[in-house]
Amino acid sequence: MTPEDVANEEGWRQRKAAEKVQREKEEHQREEQRKKEAEAHAQWLKTPEGQKWLDEAPIREAEARKQEAAAQACQEAANWQRDARLLGVPSRLVPSALYGEAIRETPALLYSRQYVEGGDLKAGASLVLLGPASRGKTFAAAAVLRAAAGWGSRSFIHFPGFVGALLDPARRPTALEAAKTTRLVILDEIGGGYIKPGGLVEPLFEEIIFWRHGEFRPTIFTSNLTGDEFSAQFSDRVIDRIREWGPVWACGGPSLRERYHPAQSVQRPEAA
Ligand SMILES: Nc1ncnc2c1ncn2[C@@H]1O[C@H](COP(=O)(O)OP(=O)(O)OP(=O)(O)O)[C@@H](O)[C@H]1O
Ligand SMILES: [Mg+2]
């Protein structure tokens, strides 16, 4: 090392030491300032104004929590609007939810809540919602799809259209694979004579059911069939698995598509 190098190194060391002293001084000043502010705040809290502020703290916190919950609900609704379209949920059923102001507590909805909150969804059980038209079966199934956000892949499959895809050699492999492996699947409107015994769809449908049942894939079926018709529609091997897999509910309640009412007789005011 030359004398010049030694001098340079010494200069560098002194600069670093001076910088360190300066940093410590600044940190000390900041600490002092923090202490002063904390003391001033503690004094202020003893004043009537400070006491009032303290008393109102729970109200402010509750309001902040309310706002945070509202912001989260808003974000969830926006996510669902987007997801519902991608998952294949019909537009009319996008307002589906397990809870909400405009949500009616139909039997189908209560069964769906129980399915989610009782742990069946997470356990990979099935849920079969049977019943006449407009009992809210598809709505309730879509509400489960919504509630399952963040729990893996989801899909809403309209069964009649799906059978068409299974019968088409070009679309069959993708349709079959998606119906088997997607984590949560709604098979809407199953039955109705789409699966002919000995036909092409029957073994494919069985393959889907056997696989999903075996792999604990949560699956919701909706159908207009009665319990007996449902049992008669599918092979014993399918029905046997569904019995083990999850609950089968007959959904009652009034019809929900009630916009049209027969004209009522109009009472005219008495002639004067
Ligand atoms: N819980 C609910 N709260 C509010 N509206 C609902 C509820 N359930 C269903 N609806 C509305 O009622 C109508 C019928 O519901 P949905 O389509 O789910 O009936 P469905 O039982 O599946 O009938 P179908 O057997 O004919 O398919 C829809 O317009 C839906 O938006
Ligand atoms: Mg339906």
Please determine, for residue 32, whether its predicted confidence score (pLDDT) is greater than 60: yes
Which residues make beta-bridge pairs with 228? none
Give the residue-averaged pLDDT of 179-206.
91
- Tell me the C-alpha distance between 91 and 88, whole Å: 9
- Whole-number pLDDT of residue 262: 56
Ligand 1 contact via 154 beta carbon (within 6 Å)? no
If one residue of 129, 138, 258 were mutated to test the ligand 1 pocket, choosing by the most ligand atoms within 8 A of its CB, it would be: 138
Please determine, for residue 267, whether its predicted confidence score (pLDDT) is greater than 60: no
Please determine, for residue 266, whether its predicted confidence score (pLDDT) is greater than 90: no
- Whole-number pLDDT of residue 149: 96
Of residues 146, 109, 104, the one with CA closest to residue 129 = 109
- Whole-number pLDDT of residue 263: 56
- Whole-number pLDDT of residue 1: 80
Where does the pLDDT of residue 260 fall: very low under 50, low under 70, confident under 90, or very high at 90 and above?
A: low
Index of the ligand 1 atom closest to the CA of residue 224? 25
- Whole-number pLDDT of residue 51: 94
- Tell me the C-alpha distance between 266 and 272, whole Å: 18
Sketch the domain layout of the chain as residue ranges.
3-50, 82-250
Please determine, for residue 71, whether its predicted confidence score (pLDDT) is greater than 90: yes
Write the DSSP assignment of 93-125 as a string of letters.
GTT--SS-TT----HHHHHHHHHHHTTHHHHT-
> Which structure tokens are listed for 171?
């679309």
What's the 108 CA to ligand 1 centre distance in angstroms? 9
pLDDT digits (tens, 9 = 90+) for 99-139: 999 999 999 999 999 999 999 999 999 999 999 999 999 99
Q: Which residue has the higher pLDDT, 21 or 259?
A: 21
Index of the ligand 1 atom closest to the CA of residue 251? 21
Q: Which CATH number fits domain 82-250: 3.30.70.20, 3.30.420.80, 3.10.20.520, 3.40.50.300?
A: 3.40.50.300
Mean pLDDT of the residues in the chain: 92
pLDDT digits (tens, 9 = 90+) for 89-109: 999 999 999 999 999 999 999
> Which amino acid residue places its CA nearest to atom 8 of ligand 1?
136
Segment among 22-36, 139-153, 187-201, 231-245 with least mean pLDDT: 187-201
What's the 212 CA to ligand 1 centre distance in angstroms? 26
Give the residue-averaged pLDDT of 175-181.
96
- Whole-number pLDDT of residue 272: 41
Of residues 244, 221, 43, the one with CA closest to residue 130 = 221
Give the residue-averaged pLDDT of 235-258.
91
**pTM metric for this prediction:** 0.80
Please determine, for residue 268, whether its predicted confidence score (pLDDT) is greater than 60: no
> Which amino acid residue places its CA nearest to atom 6 of ligand 1?
136
Of residues 170, 171, 127, the one with CA closest to residue 148 = 127
